[in-house]
Structure 1
């Protein structure tokens, strides 16, 4: 999913554009409701719909329904809509990355060359639809690439409920490969149990362990396969809490760690430690035996530095962690 060059199709401010901005301001409330509604409806239509792809579809609808008469007005509508979507979940990194990449892809590439605004708008809609379709196909592309690394007789350790990791394992099973999976289960979201049910339906031999038993089980693991909420500029990944400790245990046992992630999850972030992550915590109830004065800290995600990642399976190809920064430059510049 490579993007175009750095040029921007923007018109100089004019009287009509200024007055148009005023009209758009008065319509903002209804437009915000519309884009957020379209976003949630897209997620509701399919349980496999990625958050970023739903956002891309909603933003494309904004272009279709826009009453703007200039590129300046349309770009403002898109930016306001993207901000509204991000406000739905301010800590969702993949949502923010998807919105930013969509805006870059549609409104700031040299491919938008037209003599009239109507023609430019039509081209924007086409590019938005193409972006959404390419994003949807990303998972299938990654499955084709990642399946090759699942060998017959191997034991795969997975963590969390990753749709793209499932696609890889499903592809490997469909190819007739016999392999087994160890699934980690941690509180409070039960994603491990969800993953185990999916694998059972695929008839893949599956064992569930507590996530605190990872180091104990690692000596019988051949590869670790995880998804990612975001791939950051260093080539490290932000993912479900526990990914970091799994990667450390895997490195100690010389077990490769593979990360499966769509390119719309590439984020312009450079965390140096766990405190640099957007704050997101989940409720956790230990019951009445826990003293009321004891604090509970349950972050939902952690950061795994690039030195613990063997390869990344993406729709841009199989990448080393060191190659991620180059791909980010090509995506955003």
Structure 2
């Protein structure tokens, strides 16, 4: 698939979910590298740098995207010629795709250990990682019941209940605003994440923070399932994660909106859940408290503060 096609599919949410977005970006960079015609390494770096910028501009909130792009692009840093750089990008992209697949499997195994036989679990949005925890527990023979939210305005909950239904999991489908009405019937909340900041705050689909607050009030455990490449390195520097605000026609028909000149429709796609409302974050490296987010960023992703200076210089060279 052409890189611009992938970028448009990510932008339009035809490709959705932080993990799927990251894998699509890595695969697109790999394919794009093979289309370069020429032998000048500086031109190739510029060619790939433009491609990276195109992908990064599609969805501002999911940090899995820049983490995947950085992982693939950094691989060519030491290449001396175009074939070496292309080979490095191929290896890095293949490595990312494989590790991403295994990450979901490991998260499912680890997360399932937190789910007991007879538990009632609530989940929100359509998260591969959160579903892996639930479905792994189900495959282990645990008797589960799930509450799944509608996830307005794009109704991603439909994807979730189909996956649960196909697996034979007893599921209740509820509107987002009904969460507090059912939270006392729930033993465990499991959601995914689009980003995790250095202080353990979780950026996820809009409505997650309200669910976490209701769970906190009800003393219901709140688990977040997230691959380590969803941790946000730039939050070390105090940089805030941009919350994407999508088109208003997802919420209100334009014909109706035209009759309401004094009404402004707001459609943020994500919200931020403070770390104090999250009990554990389940990653492929293990289940950690939110306070350990910095350790993941520094030791596993390799982003200390000094790394940002090196990365800035590398990005400058790519754009030369």
Question: Where do 1:27-38 residues align within 5 Å?
Answer: 34-37=2-5
The answer on 1:77 being equivalent to 2:44 is: no
Compute the TM-score of the two structures, normalised by the length of structure 2. Answer: 0.79
How much has 1:232 moved relative to structure 2? 1.9
CA distance in 2, matches of 1:210, 1:257: 19
The answer on 1:142 being equivalent to 2:107 is: yes
Which of residues 13, 23, 29 is equivalent to 1:53? 23
Aligned to 2:157: 192
How much has 1:139 moved relative to structure 2? 1.2
Cα pair 2:60 2:244 within 8 Å, conserved: no
CA distance in 2, matches of 1:66, 1:58: 13
CA distance in 2, matches of 1:116, 1:184: 51
Cα pair 2:104 2:227 within 8 Å, conserved: yes
How much has 1:220 moved relative to structure 2? 1.4
Cα pair 1:59 1:81 within 8 Å, conserved: yes
CA distance in 2, matches of 1:257, 1:198: 22
Aligned to 1:62: 32
CA distance in 2, matches of 1:189, 1:167: 22
Cα distance per residue 1:221-256 (max 9 Å; x no partner) = 111000111122222111111100111111122211
Aligned residue-pair number: 295
Which of residues 281, 285, 288 is equivalent to 2:246? 281
Which of residues 264, 275, 279 is equivalent to 1:310? 279
CA distance in 2, matches of 1:180, 1:288: 39
Cα distance per residue 1:17-75 (max 9 Å; x no partner) = xxxxxxxxxxxxxxxx9422366799989999701111011112233444464654443
Partner of 1:281, secondary structure, is coil
Radius of gyration: which is bigger?
Answer: 1
Aligned to 2:196: 231
Partner of 1:156, secondary structure, is strand
Partner of 2:116, secondary structure, is coil
CA distance in 1, matches of 2:46, 2:233: 22
Structure 1 unaligned regions, length at least 5 = 1-32
Cα pair 2:243 2:268 within 8 Å, conserved: no
Aligned to 1:177: 142
Change over 3 Å in CA distance of 1:145–1:118 after alignment to 2: same
CA distance in 1, matches of 2:130, 2:204: 13
How much has 1:279 moved relative to structure 2? 3.4
Aligned to 2:69: 99
